[in-house]
Amino acid sequence: MASLSQPKVEVNAAEKKVYAYVPDKMNDELIQSFLAQYGKAVNSITPGEYHLEVDCTEMKVISPELVPSLEGTMGMYVKDGFGKVTFVVSGSPVFKMQMMRIARSAGLDLEIVDAK
């Protein structure tokens, strides 16, 4: 079986930006890895002073079973109080609509931009 891409969360203090990469396929182990990295990053900064940029360019569509996890994650972003949250996507209109619907449900003011 091919290995899954690994999620990654990094803090760039000079730019006041937290960069998160989310691969297309996530399992429980990868979700836990992402949450651990995210928690460590958030605990090292004052989120209200930072821009969270989430790279979702590999994601194409959101399966129904993934919606609760995404709502919970977006709820974390709201609770942590980032100054700005941007999701970078690869242009799928359906994916964008799904993300905006989930963000609204979670109470997240989300900006979605197309990858360059």
Which candidate, 35, 39, 54, places its Cα nearest to that of 95? 54
Domain assignment of residue 2, yes or no: no
Residue 3 resides in a domain: no
SS3 104: helix
Q: What is the dihedral of CA 71, 103, 7, 79, to 10 degrees?
A: -70
Instruction: With respect to residue 1, please indicate whether it lies within any of the assigned structural domains.
Output: no
Host domain of residue 68: 8-114
Give the tokens for residue 78.
């709201």
Q: Examine residue 96 and state whether it is found in any structural domain, yes or no.
A: yes
Count how many domains the chain has: 1
pLDDT tens string, the chain, 116 residues long: the values are 344 589 999 999 999 999 999 998 877 888 899 999 999 999 999 999 999 999 999 988 888 888 898 899 999 999 999 999 999 999 788 999 999 999 999 999 999 999 87
Under 8 Å CB-to-CB from 81, ≥6 apart: which residues?
A: 47, 48
Query: Residue 45: what pLDDT?
Result: 97
pTM of the predicted structure, to 2 decimals: 0.90
- Domain holding 99: CATH number? 3.30.750
